Copies of this chain bind each other. A is one copy, B any other.
Amino acid sequence: MDFGPILIMLAALIVLARLGSAIFARFGVPGLIGEIVIGIVLANLVIGDWSFLGMLGIEMGDAPSQNYEILEVFAELGVIFLLFAVGLETKVKDLLSVGKAAMLVATMGVIIPFIAGFALIEVYEGNMHHALFLGAAMVATSVGITARVIKDMKLMDTKESKIIIGAAVIDDILGMVVLAIVVGMTASGEMSISNIALISIEAAVFVIAVLASAMWVVPRIYSYFEERNRKRFERTGESHSGVNKLILAIAVCLGFAWFADIIGLAAIIGAFLGGMLLAEYAWEWKVEEKIEPITTFFISFFFLNVGMQVDLGEMATGSAVLLAAVVILLAIATKYIGCYWGAMIDKTLTKGSRNIIGFGMVPRGEVGIIVASIGLASGAMSSELYAVVVMMAVATTIIGPPLFARAFRKKYPPEYKLTPDDMT
């Protein structure tokens, strides 16, 4: 195998991504948007036979080059490690404390966009399969993107962040259920109740099992080993435990991602839950600071790849642009309104907080694109509509974070010190 082209591709992409990130950050826009924009530019800058991606040995499409396959694997690992890192900072008891609000925010944030997307295409095209898939693609919030903004702003501990992360996780799970329903309906012409029930039950059991393990099982295992190490230390004076915490964390992250994948959920949901499982010990074990460089290495490829999905050529027709514009507006408005309403259940949340939550849930990113690509592959979606969905996912990802960051900064200015009231 010839590694030269892989090495230069990785080096060039990581530098370009960082450049994009630094330029956008200078104008106060979240850096990840710079990385997505670099991805769009890379994929669309074609001069005659020459293209940026071609120069880097990247061929996308039906017969992807080896370099692009590597890039895809790195992108996937990037978002998996990012969600794992977010999980590491999400303690179960914190999540449960915002459980009711998060649940309603998620549910409203799923129902309203789905209905709006479905109705739009049903009226515009009259094609129910297309309508179902567009509705499904509008459902799931991209936890990855919002989480990165929150992490960059160092506002992980606020109550709003916990509600958003909790709701985004729940709504990703609901999104998977909706996707399963839609796939079932378009494939068989009717929905398979048993399939819907199966995926819902699997998801619920998985989440509850992880929450319960994090609260009752993991602390016991931990105490057992602590006790054993303490005794050995008394006996031999040797304090080394033999278990490499970083390897343990990586194994949990990848293992849970894999498990979620095989039971039909998204791999990132598994990674997030795996992170939550270790959240109580992440700080003590310094797992977070060790996972961070790994995430930094991989994550840029994820955001670049999101941008690279955008084929500006597909958007050249007037009707496509108009449809995309309407879908983008609907996607932003319905998610914002649904989540803002959902957040009303918690009376302690101010208007400013509901604003933060509403905007925080706007980015769709990868999950919308995944839904669209499943639709395209199964023939239930046209390639024009696919391009619209990708534009919607990218646009909400670009438009959401600045609105979200502004709402967040309005309540918590840079010089603001968090009080315990802000956290619960």
Contact with B along A1-35 (1 / 0, CB 8 A): 10110111011001100100010001000000000
Is the CB of A315 closer than 8 A to any CB of chain B? no
Nearest residue, chain B, Cβ from A81: B297
Whether A8 and B258, one on each chain, are in contact in the complex, defined by CB atoms closer than 8 angstroms, is yes
Is the CB of A251 closer than 8 A to any CB of chain B? yes
**Which of A288-296, A328-336, A341-349 lies at the interface with chain B?**
A288-296
Contacts of A258 in B (CB 8 A): 4, 7-8, 11
| Interchain CA distance A258-B11 in the complex, whole Å | 9
Contacts of A262 in B (CB 8 A): 4
Is the CB of A246 closer than 8 A to any CB of chain B? yes
Cβ < 8 Å to B, chain A residues 249-284 = 250-251, 254-255, 257-258, 261-262, 267
Is the CB of A247 closer than 8 A to any CB of chain B? yes
| Interchain CA distance A267-B3 in the complex, whole Å | 9
Nearest residue, chain B, Cβ from A11: B254
Contacts of A376 in B (CB 8 A): none
Whether B3 and A247, one on each chain, are in contact in the complex, defined by CB atoms closer than 8 angstroms, is no
| Interchain CA distance A73-B294 in the complex, whole Å | 16
Q: How far is the CB of A368 from chain B (nearest CB, A)?
A: 18
| Interchain CA distance A72-B7 in the complex, whole Å | 13
Is the CB of A76 closer than 8 A to any CB of chain B? yes
| Interchain CA distance A250-B293 in the complex, whole Å | 10
| Interchain CA distance A258-B291 in the complex, whole Å | 26
Is the CB of A319 closer than 8 A to any CB of chain B? no
Whether B251 and A14, one on each chain, are in contact in the complex, defined by CB atoms closer than 8 angstroms, is yes
Q: How far is the CB of A123 from chain B (nearest CB, A)?
A: 35
Whether B3 and A73, one on each chain, are in contact in the complex, defined by CB atoms closer than 8 angstroms, is yes
Is the CB of A226 closer than 8 A to any CB of chain B? no
Nearest residue, chain B, Cβ from A7: B258
Whether B246 and A293, one on each chain, are in contact in the complex, defined by CB atoms closer than 8 angstroms, is yes
Is the CB of A69 closer than 8 A to any CB of chain B? yes
| Interchain CA distance A155-B297 in the complex, whole Å | 29
Contacts of A293 in B (CB 8 A): 246, 290-294
Whether A244 and B7, one on each chain, are in contact in the complex, defined by CB atoms closer than 8 angstroms, is no
Contacts of A291 in B (CB 8 A): 293
Whether A296 and B246, one on each chain, are in contact in the complex, defined by CB atoms closer than 8 angstroms, is yes
Contacts of A254 in B (CB 8 A): 7-8, 10-11, 14
Contacts of A257 in B (CB 8 A): 7
Contact of A69 among B1, B11, B18, B76 (CB under 8 A): B1
Is the CB of A66 closer than 8 A to any CB of chain B? yes
Contacts of A8 in B (CB 8 A): 254-255, 258
Whether B69 and A247, one on each chain, are in contact in the complex, defined by CB atoms closer than 8 angstroms, is no
Q: Which 4 A-B pairs have the closest CB atoms?
A: A11-B254, A7-B258, A4-B261, A290-B293
Chain A interfacial positions (CB closer than 8 Å to B): 1, 3-4, 6-8, 10-11, 14-15, 18, 22, 26, 66, 69-70, 72-73, 76, 80, 242, 244, 246-247, 250-251, 254-255, 257-258, 261-262, 267, 290-294, 296-297
- Provide a sorted-by-A list of 23 A–B residue pairs whose CB atoms are within 8 angstroms: A1-B72, A1-B73, A3-B76, A3-B267, A4-B261, A6-B73, A7-B258, A7-B267, A8-B255, A8-B258, A11-B250, A11-B254, A11-B258, A14-B247, A14-B251, A18-B244, A18-B247, A22-B242, A70-B70, A246-B293, A246-B297, A290-B296, A294-B297
